[in-house]
A and B are shown apart, each in its own frame.
Chain A
Amino acid sequence: MSHGPSATGGALVAAPPHGHHHDAPHVPVFTDLARAALDTIMSRYPTKQAALLPALWLVQDARGWVSEASMEEVAGLLEITPAYVKGVTSFYTMYHQHPVGRHFIQVCTTTPCNVCGAEDVVSALLEHSGCGDLGLTSADGRFTVVEVECLGACGFPTPIMINNDFVESLTPESVPRILSELK
């Protein structure tokens, strides 16, 4: 899917200091409520596999990212192979395959926003978040900033997404205030 630096940055992310350890034993995601939510979702489709994207969302909502151990858990529940799950996970840019900052910020820099100055917004975000570069996580683990291709809010340049929330009409001047509200 990616040919450039604007992939969601998973592969570029440095291990954050607040630490998720790949070798720690996997605590299952799908117990109790999450399991019930997945069962409800599965009832909507004629195949188990169709619940794959929703299942990966449930994992990310619970853990902040999708680890290989989580992929194996999902594979078992949906009766597909872990390799297949990884193939699907890696196709979609919104699933994090590595831990990211507490506030994952996606900035639209595609043409409609670009002609309105989106690159200046990116510079301001990198400067004030302490991330240094796109795809890197700030030393305090607060922020990861990535470029994203067209957020579909072209009339409100520059839009960004902070985790699941949209913020529209960002300017370089409004960046410090927005970031200061994120702890």
Chain B
Amino acid sequence: MGYPHTSHPRETAILSKYFGDAEARTLDGWRARGGYDALQQALNTDPQELQTIVKDSGLRGRGGAGFPTGLKWSFMKPDGKIHYMLCNADESEPGTFKDREIMRWTPHGLVEGVALAAHSIYAETAYIYIRGEFTEPYARVTKAVEEAYAAGVLGANAMGSGRRVDVHVHRGAGAYICGEETALMNSLEGRRGNPRIKPPFPAVAGLFGKPTTINNVETLATVPYIIKNGAEWYKQFGRADNPKSIGTKLFSVCGNITRPGNYEVALGFPFKDFLYDLCGGPLPGREIKAVIPGGSSVPILTREEAENTIMDYEGMVAAGTLLGSGGVIVFDDRQDMVRQIARLVRFYAHESCAQCTQCREGTAWTLRIMERIRDGEGTAEDLDTLLSIADNMTGKTICVLSDSCATPVVSGLKKFRGEFEAKIAQNRSVVSARGPIRATAA
């Protein structure tokens, strides 16, 4: 079932099948739809075997980085230590709103996936960290957890398996950076959400210093289907010639597009068909000018580039961008790219945790320069300065927020340089009307 639009025949609805179906929200409703069968089965299966099934399925992390899920799980061994399972529900990458719908419509699907994952990594305790602004998803997931405890699905003897599985819901309080996995751990521990230096990686020392696995909502919601139907079943979704991108993916579509919303397609879907066929293309009388395909942190594509791209991890890389979180932001021909890139930079400047100098200073200075170019007060030299700052912000900090701020600036300057130069030319005329042209504008 599609949401909020009606489902398109070319969608492959697995995760989104029950979006818009209010009965799927309750424990009984979820069970009636086959829910918790996978958990029951998993709790009576050796974790090692579950790790192998997920590894064989080819599932990769849906939060943005695309790390193989089964491989991540396989770092967790039966070492007798306390382990933690963490669900990253701090969805806040601009353009992305898929986890929100999973939590709003199928909260039990997430709880099932989290509990299943906890058992698979030898953990008895799991936490779901939900961003502070997601009040409805928080209420839905909290209710699902309460229902699951009341029915004995969770607790000291989860589904009668004799195993303990506890799931707790934790609410954030407004900080994009807490979607970074180690910042999320600090935040959950009651600290400022500053990312941690890696190594040690979470599998060695994560939450409360203990071995931890952290996965995105969409990833965890997918796992029960794989356990129930098998790795081979999951492998049918994707391009036959690309074994590296398997499965379905939820794409959130927003901006200047006829039918915004969430769409679930098999990886390898042609981006052109997606934009025009499924999402209805641009608004009447408009043309698509640019597309950010994977959340605001990935390079911008021109319309021509987007139309020739395949929607999977490798297809996006071949086009010079990334699949990321699957947040598709569409800009039409009315949009001033300098203005919109400046607005994106403002997002990152606001959200920098200010821990690393390159990010704290880099985001703030990039913002000032972008805004003065936007306001017709920039100089030609500013373009070189922006690229120089971007270079110093890339690959030099504890986390990638800094890199993410540089990305739209660098890709925007490469693909829409004319718009930047037109703004700067505007400055020259204003200055020359009043007096001599500034030396820096030469």
Contact = CB atoms under 8 A, between A and B. Distances in A.
Contacts of B171: 53-54, 57
Interface residues of B, number: 60
A65 to B, nearest CB: 13
A156 B92 CA distance: 15
Nearest to A115: B255
Interface in A133-171: 148-157, 161, 164-166
B254 A154 contact: yes
B94 interface: yes
B102 interface: no
B309 interface: no
Contacts of B252: 154-155
Nearest to B351: A149
B190 A152 contact: no
B425 interface: no
A114 B350 contact: no
Contacts of B347: 110-111, 149-150
Nearest to A88: B192
Contacts of A151: 133
A91 B175 contact: yes
B174 A53 contact: no
A114 B97 CA distance: 16
The A interface, classified by DSSP as helix, strand, loop or mixed, is loop
Contacts of A112: 94-95, 254-255, 329
A92 B176 contact: no
Given A115-B340, A155-B254, A164 B192 contact: no
Contacts of A153: 97, 100
A149 B260 contact: no
Interface in B373-427: none
Given A112-B329, A114-B340, A152 B97 contact: yes
Contact of B353 (A1, A44, A53): A1
B296 interface: yes
Contact of B94 (A2, A3, A87, A154): A154
A59 to B, nearest CB: 12
Contacts of B350: 1-4, 6-7, 149
A156 B260 contact: yes
Interface residues on A, range: 35 or more
A71 interface: no
A91 to B, nearest CB: 4
A95 interface: yes
Contacts of B96: 152, 154
Contact of B173 (A3, A46, A57): A57
Given A47-B208, A111-B340, A161 B174 contact: no
B189 A157 contact: no
A52 interface: yes
B189 A8 contact: no
A157 B131 CA distance: 19
B366 to A, nearest CB: 11
A123 interface: no
Contacts of B256: 115-116
B253 interface: yes
A7 B351 CA distance: 10
Contacts of B305: none
B367 A4 contact: yes
Contacts of A155: 4, 97, 252-254, 260-262
A142 to B, nearest CB: 21
Interface in B319-348: 327, 329, 331-332, 335, 340, 343-344, 346-347
Interface string A1-27: 111101110000000000000000000
Interface in B73-127: 91-97, 100
Given A3-B363, A156-B4, 7 more contacts: A1-B351, A49-B190, A51-B190, A91-B192, A152-B100, A155-B261, A166-B136
11 contacts: A3-B349, A3-B363, A3-B367, A46-B208, A91-B192, A112-B95, A112-B329, A115-B335, A149-B176, A152-B100, A155-B97
